[in-house]
């Protein structure tokens, strides 16, 4: 008989939750049960584990998060309007559950599905079941926790050869319920069929400093020759916890492009894993994080080059103020077969205060012999000489510093192809930076 362990609060009363999902298909129920078993075995990670050394999630265990009830927490279209993106299909989720009332659907090409995972599991089990949970690392504590709670999230399926012109915007709102902290587990699966094209934005948003826990898992599958533009906008409330995993599985000749922008959340952890499982793949993983106060933001990257002749580019930039902390762990694995790999990774951090801190650790593990791989990491302050140059032209000191901060972010900003997202981020920077009106004029 196994030793009796104290049950983690995250899986308390799991049986009644399980019962409430009685109508789910057997395959999904089995998946959940496996997730539960793994989580009960390994529990929340401790700081003794290498990947969790710099990010302490103990606070998660000691906060009592209720499982979200399923209401829309009094949210109205008015209240969520600031988070919507122009010219998009907005699909809105409140604490992990799809809300038809708050969403703004639009016409999609024949055969494309974009909507609630719960709905898709019921109506298109044939499309969902073979891939759900297939690529995400089931041994990851938060993937296991999420998997144990698969209930809803977003499912997008683009059939072979179809190009979806409209951007699909998935808006995940986190809230408290009756003043209490809640946890939700959005589960997302995007499948871009062979030679298809898709642009998708995942936003995670909240209000003020409300305390809640968003624990999403996103699996992305790019079938051969597909083109996928993916954006992830982290604008959680300042009291929120956000621990997310993205697993990207790419087949030959895909062109994949993702941007992770984050400025919200009290504690943010983002594991981004890309498997380049075919030849001729171009994979770009960019990111920009801004943190201040006592915010903590951690990105764990892993790119696997499994086949020859693939390119991966990673550029992550961070801007930190006050006592903010950032962690960046970048790992590129070049497998033995992956000759002619071209992999480039860079993490650059700008510290705007003396108490901000960054742990940056780019790593390469190469088992092939004919590859071109570079990685680098820099952490520094604003260049005094540049500040002086701007001031010597009549720009005030604060504005000069803001201009240079904007300039630092610019490299990532410029690569954002989706105008709605780029404009939003620019606007955010103009409001965030001191003397932002001068920055707005000068760029």
Partner 1 sequence: MLKIRNLHARVDDKEILKGIDLDVGLGEVHAVMGPNGSGKSTLAQVLAGREDYEVTAGEVEFGGEDLLEMPPEDRAREGIFMAFQYPVEIPGVSNTYFLKAALNAIRKHQGLEEMDAIDFLKLVRAKMKLVNMDEALLNRPVNDGFSGGEKKRNEIFHMAVLEPRLAVLDETDSGLDIDALKIVSEGVNTMRSADRSFVVITHYQRILNYIEPDFVHVLVDGRIARSGGKDLALELEDKGYAWLDPKTAGTAAAAVMA
CB–CB of 439/403 below 8 Å?
yes
Closer to partner 1 at the Cβ: 367 or 389?
Answer: 389
Measure the CA–CA gap between 278 and 254, rounded to whole angstroms: 9
Closer to partner 1 at the Cβ: 121 or 403?
Answer: 403
Output the smallest distance, CB 427 to partner 1, in A. 16
Name residues contacting partner 1, limited to 127-156 (CB under 8 A).
none
Output the smallest distance, CB 386 to partner 1, in A. 5
Closer to partner 1 at the Cβ: 15 or 384?
Answer: 384
Output the smallest distance, CB 442 to partner 1, in A. 4
CB–CB of 184/17 below 8 Å?
no
Name residues contacting partner 1, limited to 344-403 (CB under 8 A).
383-386, 388-397, 399-400, 403
3-state secondary structure of 407: helix
3-state secondary structure of 33: helix
Q: What is the DSSP letter of 4?
A: P
Name residues contacting partner 1, limited to 17-36 (CB under 8 A).
none
Output the smallest distance, CB 441 to partner 1, in A. 5
Measure the CA–CA gap between 272 and 299, rounded to whole angstroms: 7
CB atoms inside a 10 Å sphere around CB 207: 20
90-116: b or e for each residue (b if 16 or more CB lie within 10 Å)? bbbbbbbbbbeebbeeeebeeebbbbb
Closer to partner 1 at the Cβ: 5 or 393?
Answer: 393
Output the smallest distance, CB 440 to partner 1, in A. 9
Number of residues that bind partner 1 (CB under 8 A): 30
Entry field: residues in the chain: 443
Closer to partner 1 at the Cβ: 424 or 426?
Answer: 426
CB–CB of 175/72 below 8 Å?
no
Name residues contacting partner 1, limited to 235-274 (CB under 8 A).
none
61 lies in the binding site for partner 1 (CB under 8 A): no
CB–CB of 230/203 below 8 Å?
no
Helix (H) / strand (E) element for 115: namely: strand 113-116
CB–CB of 282/255 below 8 Å?
yes
Closer to partner 1 at the Cβ: 301 or 439?
Answer: 439
Output the smallest distance, CB 235 to partner 1, in A. 22
Closer to partner 1 at the Cβ: 22 or 394?
Answer: 394
Look up residue 201 and give its two tokens.
């934005």
Closer to partner 1 at the Cβ: 272 or 404?
Answer: 404
Closer to partner 1 at the Cβ: 240 or 395?
Answer: 395
Output the smallest distance, CB 201 to partner 1, in A. 23
Backbone angles phi, psi at 173, to 5 degrees: -100, 135
CB–CB of 192/160 below 8 Å?
no
Output the smallest distance, CB 259 to partner 1, in A. 16
Backbone angles phi, psi at 66, to 5 degrees: -80, 150
**C-alpha torsion 100→106→109→111, nearest 10:** 10
Measure the CA–CA gap between 279 and 142, rounded to whole angstroms: 31
Output the smallest distance, CB 330 to partner 1, in A. 23
375: Cβ contacts below 8 Å, ≥ 6 apart: 330, 332, 344, 345, 346, 362, 363, 364
Site track for partner 1 across 288-307, x = CB under 8 A:
--------------------
Closer to partner 1 at the Cβ: 337 or 397?
Answer: 397
Site track for partner 1 across 402-431, x = CB under 8 A:
-xx-xxxxxx-xx-----------------
Output the smallest distance, CB 344 to partner 1, in A. 18
- Residues of this chain that interact with partner 1 (CB under 8 A) are 383-386, 388-397, 399-400, 403-404, 406-411, 413-414, 438, 441-443
């Amino acid at each position: 008989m196994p030793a009796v362990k104290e049950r983690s609060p995250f899986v308390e009363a799991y049986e009644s939750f399980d019962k409430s999902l009685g109508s789910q298909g057997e395959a999904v129920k089995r998946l959940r049960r496996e997730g539960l078993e793994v989580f009960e075995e390994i529990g929340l990670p401790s700081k003794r584990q290498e990947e969790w050394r710099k990010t302490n999630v103990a606070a998660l265990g000691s906060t009592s998060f209720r499982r979200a009830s399923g209401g829309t927490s009094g949210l109205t279209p008015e209240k969520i309007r600031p988070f919507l993106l122009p010219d998009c299909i907005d699909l809105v989720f409140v604490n992990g559950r799809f809300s038809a009332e708050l969403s703004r659907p639009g016409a999609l090409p024949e055969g494309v599905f974009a909507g609630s995972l719960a709905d898709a599991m019921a109506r298109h089990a044939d499309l969902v079941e073979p891939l759900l949970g297939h690529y995400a690392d089931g041994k990851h504590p938060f993937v296991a926790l999420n998997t144990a709670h698969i209930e809803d999230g977003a499912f997008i399926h683009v059939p072979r050869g179809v190009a979806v012109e409209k951007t699909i915007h998935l808006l995940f709102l986190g809230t408290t319920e009756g003043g209490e902290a809640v946890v939700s587990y959005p589960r997302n699966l995007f499948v871009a069929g062979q030679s298809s094209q898709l642009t998708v934005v995942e936003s995670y948003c909240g209000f003020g400093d409300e305390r809640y826990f968003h624990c999403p898992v996103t699996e992305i599958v790019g079938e051969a020759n597909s083109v996928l533009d993916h954006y992830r906008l982290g604008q959680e409330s300042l009291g929120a916890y956000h621990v997310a995993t993205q697993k990207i599985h790419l087949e030959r000749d895909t062109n994949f492009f993702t941007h992770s922008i984050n400025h919200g959340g009290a504690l943010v952890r983002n594991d981004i894993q890309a498997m380049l499982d075919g030849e001729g793949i171009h994979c770009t993983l960019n990111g920009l994080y801004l943190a201040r106060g006592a915010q903590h933001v951690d990105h764990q990257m892993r790119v696997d080059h499994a086949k020859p002749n693939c390119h991966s580019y990673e550029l992550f930039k961070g801007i930190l103020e006050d006592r903010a902390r950032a962690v960046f762990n970048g790992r590129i694995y070049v497998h033995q077969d992956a000759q002619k790999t071209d992999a480039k990774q860079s993490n650059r951090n700008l510290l705007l205060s003396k108490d901000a801190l960054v742990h940056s650790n780019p790593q390469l593990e190469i088992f092939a012999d004919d590859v071109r791989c570079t990685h680098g990491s820099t952490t520094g302050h604003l260049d005094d000489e540049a500040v002086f140059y701007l001031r010597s032209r009549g720009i005030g000191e604060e504005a000069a510093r803001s201009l240079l901060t904007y300039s630092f972010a610019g490299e990532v900003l410029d690569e954002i192809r989706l105008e709605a997202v780029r404009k939003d981020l620019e606007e955010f920077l103009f409001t965030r930076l001191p003397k932002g009106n001068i920055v707005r004029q000068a760029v």
